Structure 1
Amino acid sequence: MALDTSLPLNSLGFAKPPAETRVVVAMSGGVDSSVVAAMLKEEGYDVVGVTLQLYDHGAALAKKGACCAGLDIHDARRVAEEMGFPHYVLDYENTFREAVIDEFADSYLAGATPVPCIRCNERVKFKDLLETARDLDADCMATGHYIQRVAAPGGAQLHSAADAARDQSYFLFSTTPEQLDYLRFPLGHLASKAETRSLAARYGLGVADKPDSQDICFVPDGNYAAVIEKLRPGAADPGEIVHVDGRVLAEHRGVIHYTVGQRRGLGIGGLDEPLYVVRLDVDKRQVVVGPKELLATRTIPVREINWLGDAPFESRESWRLDVKVRSTRPPREALIRPRGTHEAEVELVVAEDGVSPGQACVFYDPESPRILGGGWIWRGY
């Protein structure tokens, strides 16, 4: 049935009353998604909460501040009970292992530095969960991410969060235009996380003071190497720490324990110069170290590009945009040269240290808060 366009748009952008608008809220059990669900329920929407059980191992069951397992599922269910809307838990362990965890382990074994949270959004939450929301006849799906969706004549745009300290655009660059059309991010306009917690307290939610997640969800103690060694026995075989000039300096305890740019914990003290990991040679099981200036990178090959601009990506010889090569770094000015629809060469105006394969390179409009997509850094052509 066609919508009555004479009606004003509700807060989710639909020309019908909130009570006639069904929204599936992706609930991790944390304060952010809980506030989204409570806020929309209070506004009168037909809210359905869905939590994905993504993993279920050991300490995760008893650990606060992770997501999508054990206590966090219980917290999501409790919020739904408190606010009076239905809540479902879906077992996605196999999907999550195949789509996220296996690639995470294999990427580390290949000497890369993966970002599994992006793959989770891309391959699980904004793919399978989004399809589940459609199956439930929902008009849209809402999440607790700090990012903004802005309606525009050419289609919805992705914009940075109002609170730069909470902005999650780096982790959401691979959101497609079709997904963006269906998604909603009700927290993106908030000025601070304190405002979110204040809302949680006002709604009387038990998670109002729950700590934020700090680690990758399936690595709740931060020990990546232990998880990879469990998934891939033999992954921690020892090898040599080698200077770029060829000198063998020490023996390491497995390439998976090291990342490009690392200085501490190398076990090669007593030398005249500070040394950093500049390259991981997986085939030779070598950790290659050298002076800091060797970490400087200006030209970055990027592939699997998701483009969110208005004009086709390959319609120009180059794009002058800002880019982020790590989630913790500010955007930097760059020239992006397309090499087809989904690959490009990114040339930084000022070199960056520690650019690593497996990380994302996210594109930003230098004139506005708009995110124009991004891709994955790889080893080169």
Structure 2
Amino acid sequence: MSKRVLAAMSGGVDSSVSAALLKAQGYEVIGAMMRFWPDNKQDDCFETCCSPDAAYEARRVADIIGIPFYLLDYREEFQAKIIDPFIAGYQAGQTPNPCVNCNTRVKFDSLLKKARMLGCDYVATGHYVINRDGGLYRGDPKKDQTYFLWGTPKEAIPHMLFPVGHLEKPQVRALAEEFGLPTAKKPESQNICFVQGDLKDFLAGHIVARPGPLIDLETGQQIGEHSGAQFYTVGQKKGLGLWKSHLERYVVQVNTATNEVIVGPREACLWGGLEAREVNLLVEPADLPAQLEVQVRYRTRAVAASVQEMSPGRMTIRLLEPQFAVTPGQSVVLYQGDRLLGGGFIEKPLYNLWNQTSHQCLQHLG
């Protein structure tokens, strides 16, 4: 008897090819798209990967492959688990990554539960991730998406399939052409799916913010005015509104409690460690290597690090190579070579490497 798979279909080429490959390999495939867009929004309120048009494309693909297709209603859950925490994160001066929450709390939690209700053995997605020997490993280096899956429950891994995880993007598009899928040349979605246009405009529609001072770290003096502390992120250089006569400045800290944005030299954004919360490990704590690699942003490379302290759900990490803009709300993801070990949300950076002793404003980096 063939294994039954619930294939998550977004209307993009990766998930389309994943479903087609599974069908070709003899699985009993059920296609499903998670509906996130609300009734009171226009059709273009969500990015191409999650829009009503994308649902139409996914249904066309399912028809071509010859599998049933269902549109599953996750509007309330997406609002409560993804959009609301995203807005709350910015309100608190953090920079959250909603894709991590979506994979953890929706795709490999709620969708896996739905799969079990439908009698499915697996959930499959179009992520560039390799599931091997009970662990998750990096896929194509140019497209690797393990960074977004650190929150996956360890017990879910045996029930996860990534049919395109071992492939490169051009190979996936070539397979889509071979299968005759209409998504073969569909462009990739690069933005946050529920944010159309400028992120600041989106946040301004949900957050009450007020102008406040830009404080220079070196002098302690106000050197400009921001439009709302919640709209800024650590490491930001553009959009500060400073005259060219000022020295080059970056956002070092966002303090929504005092409505201050602290700016300083690039060196002040270099950190040698961090504290993480809501830590999830895909291996036993005792199996963590003494030296591992961590990645503090999706597009940054992994660097050597060590775990200094650990308690349930929390971790203190020492970075053996300073990192720029270690940002509260972002993820720190742990690796051993290509294997994903787990991760957590950055609560605060530690061990600032800027030469503070010659400056006045130590209190601002508390």
Say yes or no: TM over 0.5: yes
Distance 2:307 2:20 in 1: 42
Task: Give the AA of the match of 1:167.
Answer: D
Distance 1:170 1:126 in 2: 15
What is the CA distance between 1:265 and its match in structure 2?
1.4
Distance 2:310 2:338 in 1: 26
RMSD value, Cα: 1.9
What is the CA distance between 1:42 and its match in structure 2?
2.2
Where does residue 201 of structure 2 map in the other structure? 226
Classify the secondary structure of the residue corresponding to 2:311.
Answer: coil
**Aligned pair partner of 2:266 in 292, 299, 303:** 292
Where does residue 363 of structure 1 map in the other structure? 334
Distance 2:59 2:46 in 1: 15
**Aligned pair partner of 1:215 in 188, 191, 199:** 191
Distance 1:198 1:317 in 2: 39
Distance 2:46 2:92 in 1: 31
Contact 1:317 1:337 in 2 (8 A): no
Where does residue 331 of structure 1 map in the other structure? 302
Contact 2:10 2:49 in 1 (8 A): yes
- 1:116 to 1:208, Cα distance in 2 relative to 1, 3 A: same
What is the CA distance between 1:26 and its match in structure 2?
0.5
What is the CA distance between 1:57 and its match in structure 2?
7.4
Where does residue 35 of structure 2 map in the other structure? 53
The question of 1:148 aligning with 2:130 is answered: yes
Contact 1:324 1:361 in 2 (8 A): yes
Where does residue 179 of structure 1 map in the other structure? 156
Task: Give the AA of the match of 1:288.
Answer: I
What is the CA distance between 1:380 and its match in structure 2?
6.8
Distance 1:64 1:326 in 2: 24
**Aligned pair partner of 1:251 in 225, 229, 238:** 225
Where does residue 120 of structure 1 map in the other structure? 102
Where does residue 361 of structure 2 map in the other structure? none
Contact 2:295 2:332 in 1 (8 A): yes
The question of 1:350 aligning with 2:350 is answered: no
Structure 1 residues 303-360: Cα deviation after superposition (integer angstroms, max 9, x where no partner): 2111112xx31x4898310000000001000011232132111101111111100010
Contact 1:277 1:287 in 2 (8 A): yes
Contact 1:30 1:65 in 2 (8 A): no
Contact 2:280 2:313 in 1 (8 A): yes
What is the CA distance between 1:63 and its match in structure 2?
7.7
Where does residue 201 of structure 1 map in the other structure? 177
Pairs aligned (count): 349
Classify the secondary structure of the residue corresponding to 1:323.
Answer: strand
Identical amino acids, percent of aligned pairs: 39
Which structure 2 segments of 5+ residues have no match? 351-366
The question of 1:72 aligning with 2:45 is answered: no
Distance 2:264 2:41 in 1: 38
**Aligned pair partner of 2:19 in 33, 37, 40:** 37
Classify the secondary structure of the residue corresponding to 1:378.
Answer: strand
Task: Give the AA of the match of 1:230.
Answer: G
Distance 1:57 1:281 in 2: 36
Which structure 1 segments of 5+ residues have no match? 1-16
Contact 1:60 1:218 in 2 (8 A): no
- 1:239 to 1:31, Cα distance in 2 relative to 1, 3 A: same
Distance 1:174 1:304 in 2: 9
Classify the secondary structure of the residue corresponding to 2:10.
Answer: coil
Where does residue 363 of structure 2 map in the other structure? none
Structure 1 residues 35-55: Cα deviation after superposition (integer angstroms, max 9, x where no partner): 011111122321100100112
Contact 1:66 1:215 in 2 (8 A): no
The question of 1:266 aligning with 2:266 is answered: no
Contact 1:225 1:256 in 2 (8 A): no
Where does residue 214 of structure 2 map in the other structure? 241
Structure 1 residues 80-99: Cα deviation after superposition (integer angstroms, max 9, x where no partner): 11111100001111100100
Classify the secondary structure of the residue corresponding to 2:205.
Answer: helix
